[in-house]
A and B are shown apart, each in its own frame.
Chain A
Amino acid sequence: MIRQIKQKHFLPGFGIGLGFTLSYLSLLVLIPLSILAVKSLSLDWTVYRSLLIDPRTYAAIKLTFLSSLVAAGINLVFGFIVAWTLVRLPFPGSRLIDALIDLPFALPTAVSGIALTSLYVRTGLLGRYLEPYGVQAAFAPLGVIIALTFIGLPFVVRTLQPALQDIDKEYEEAAISLGASPFRVFASVIFPSIRPAMLTGFSLAFARALGEYGSVVFISGNMPMKTEIVSLLIVGKMERFDYEGATALAAITLLASFLILLAINLTQWHYSRKVQQTG
């Protein structure tokens, strides 16, 4: 072990590599982030209190949280079906669909935002079919959910695909030959083995949705109390130079998204340890 460490240091460039990496990282990321941390901790308690009792903030937090949750849920169900089809039931053209799944990552969020808006406004390609049923998608909470579903899809599909590829088909075949119905096979054989991946994909989509801005602001219409998301509230506070309020709200949002990602890491660590223990 010690010899290996020595061997690895045998290559030149460790000092300069680590030094450059650390200073660049500190300057660009760590120092700005810690300024937010320090400022948010030194804020007066009343700033947080007035934020939490403000009905507009409460409405924005509720909308952001609930629509992120719903969108991640939609993605979990349909993302599973898409991933399963791509892995297990390939058909002519499924390669193309597979390549297209990353589109929400590759497309600039503002572009996705205006595209989705023009699809779902009353006169839009899809909105005109919702209109007769009295369903309003654009400029309503439904629009927020649609945008968040769009940007969250690749997270679920891309975490489920490798997990589905790794499933040992033997267990499924055994269950089928023992007379289990397709639903039974899913519930007791497939689901347990992809549960960690489903959880990860869901949480990644959820975390991303909480902080999303560009794809939502166009379709939501940004009506206070109705379709205003937290990111937009932060921008609004900044534009009014209410830096204290923006700091508090940014700190809360950032803490929430860090906690979710920490939870994902801990779950994965837990599962991988379990796998190691059982063999």
Chain B
Amino acid sequence: MDTDMRSSMQRLIQFFMRCITITFVVLFLVLPLYVILSEATGEGMSVFFRAVTHQETLQALTLTICTLFIILPLNILFGIAAAWTLTKYEFRGKSVLSALIDLPFSVPPVIAGFILILFLGRHGTLGFLLEKLDTQIIFAAPAVIVATLFVTFPFVARELVPLMQEQGVDEEQAAVSLGASAFQTFFHVTLPNIKWALFYGIILSTARAMGEFGAVSVVSGHIRGKTITLPLHIEILYNEYNFTAAFAVSSLLVTLAMSTLVVKEIVYWRSGKKQTRPTGGFLESPETPDL
């Protein structure tokens, strides 16, 4: 009888835990998604499409896409160089370097924007140089690019390091000792092994680049048609009480966020769940990978 009571109590606890989980997830994750989509389409599809295809929305989208064309190649290049250096060689200060690469994750977005103003602003450290060259970075389109570079900086390296660490150097060494050049070794040996992690790193960078608000907001200067990204456009629409349009533009970014989650699941399953990292690269884990 004692065991009966115990098991029924256990079942009761299990039932409650499932209920709490579902309630919490619906309250905090499902309802916000629902409200975006319902507000976006609340005044009919024609209003939705007008907001999405409005000139300012398209300008914001253009700026974001231009930003992506600049930051993605740089992030890929840096990510591969950093991961290659960190995983294929032994040297002093390796764990320090690895920790420094993660640094931008622990800088609050507003402060990230502010230090870029201190560095590149008119009265900033490089201000005199920029004035001589007659260029402006802060409060102009280049600022959006620099701020995005700062906040997306670690994503690709982050995805590559654990994987390349696991794979070791044997295959590359075999290739080199058989006479392959550095480029041949990279493109024929390393790249096929890391392509999924690289792809996921690119997706994460893209999502963050399209969605960054704090850092970009601080440095952009909010110049209409010039330095407005999609999140800034949403802010302006919302503050003008143009709620339907704000949510319509938001729903574009929701689509992007949802596809990021789907890609994450695909990459996670494709990797045969070998990597026990359900965080999928989003989590700013403080653990320095064992190097």
Contact = CB atoms under 8 A, between A and B. Distances in A.
Contact of B261 (A100, A110, A235): A100
Contact of B115 (A13, A35, A231): A35
B119 to A, nearest CB: 4
Interface string A65-103: 000000000000010011011100101000001111111
Interface string B92-130: 000001001101101111110011111100011100000
Contacts of B210: 108
A253 B108 contact: yes
Interface string B10-36: 100110011011101101111111011
A210 B108 contact: yes
Given A21-B82, A36-B118, A30 B90 contact: no
Contacts of B36: 111, 114-115
A107 B238 CA distance: 17
B283 A112 contact: no
Interface string A1-31: 0001101111111101110111011001111
Nearest to B176: A11
Interface of A: 4-5, 7-14, 16-18, 20-22, 24-25, 28-33, 35-36, 39, 78, 81-82, 84-86, 89, 91, 97-112, 114-116, 118-119, 124-126, 149-150, 153-155, 158-159, 161-162, 165, 176, 181-182, 200, 204, 207-208, 210-214, 218, 231, 234-235, 238, 243, 246-247, 250, 253-254, 257-258, 261, 264-265, 268
- The 3 A-B pairs of least Cβ separation, nearest first, read A211-B108, A108-B211, A105-B282
Interface of B: 6, 9-10, 13-14, 17-18, 20-22, 24-25, 27-33, 35-36, 39, 77-78, 81-82, 84-85, 88-91, 97, 100-101, 103-104, 106-111, 114-119, 123-125, 146, 149-150, 153, 169, 172-173, 176, 182, 185, 207, 210-214, 217-218, 230-232, 234-235, 238, 243, 246-247, 250, 253-254, 257-258, 260-261, 264-265, 276-280, 282-288
